[in-house]
């Protein structure tokens, strides 16, 4: 299992950033390689489930996602989800007030089954691709949220 951590400050209030980023119908718009949800049950609250595809090097990998945390405490918001399928991961997103903006922290633990690694590439290539993908995902979220 590998871990990736990313942090970014977005020049928008926590409520706005979290409202957009925690809505599953928006994910494919900023999350690199993610398809629109299919069989969506819920609106992003705990227990929401959906099927999606994650594309890596042109290979469409089927995944199922379940939201395991969606909460607000003071000036902070929290979202976590568990992904199963061709890619297994747990993602935790934290949104904290940073002045008039929002500090976004992403922690992801993931692994790919050997059969997927064989189809996609070796471990070092996959790790670099995942890191780059999450970096671009964070940049996309920033760009969308900061657009008036």
Q: What is the pLDDT of residues 50-69, one digit of tens each?
A: 999 998 878 888 999 999 99
Asked whether the beta carbons of 83 and 64 are under 8 A apart, the reply is yes
- CATH number of the domain at 73, please: 3.30.530.20
pLDDT of residue 27: 96
Alpha-carbon span 24 to 16, nearest angstrom = 15
Q: Specify the number of domains making up the chain.
A: 1
DSSP SS3 for 82: strand
Provide the mean pLDDT of the chain: 90
Is a pLDDT exceeding 70 seen at residue 94? yes
- The string of pLDDT tens digits covering residues 25-47 is 999 999 999 999 999 999 999 99
- Kindly state the percentage of the chain with pLDDT values over 90: 74
The token pair at 79 is: 């979202």
For 124, the domain range is 2-146
């Amino acid at each position: 299992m590998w871990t990736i951590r990313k942090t970014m400050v977005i020049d928008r209030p926590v409520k706005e950033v979290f409202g957009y980023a925690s809505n599953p119908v928006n994910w494919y718009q900023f999350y690199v390689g993610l398809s629109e949800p299919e069989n969506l049950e819920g609106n992003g609250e705990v227990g929401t489930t959906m099927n999606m595809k994650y594309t890596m090097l042109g290979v469409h990998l089927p995944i199922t996602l379940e939201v395991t945390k969606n909460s607000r405490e003071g000036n902070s918001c929290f979202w976590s989800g568990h992904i199963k399928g061709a890619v297994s991961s747990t993602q935790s997103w934290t949104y904290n007030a940073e002045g008039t903006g929002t500090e976004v922290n992403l922690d992801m633990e993931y692994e790919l089954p050997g059969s997927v690694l064989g189809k996609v590439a070796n471990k070092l290539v996959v790790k670099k691709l995942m890191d780059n993908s999450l970096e671009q995902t964070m940049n996309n979220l920033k760009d969308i949220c900061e657009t008036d």
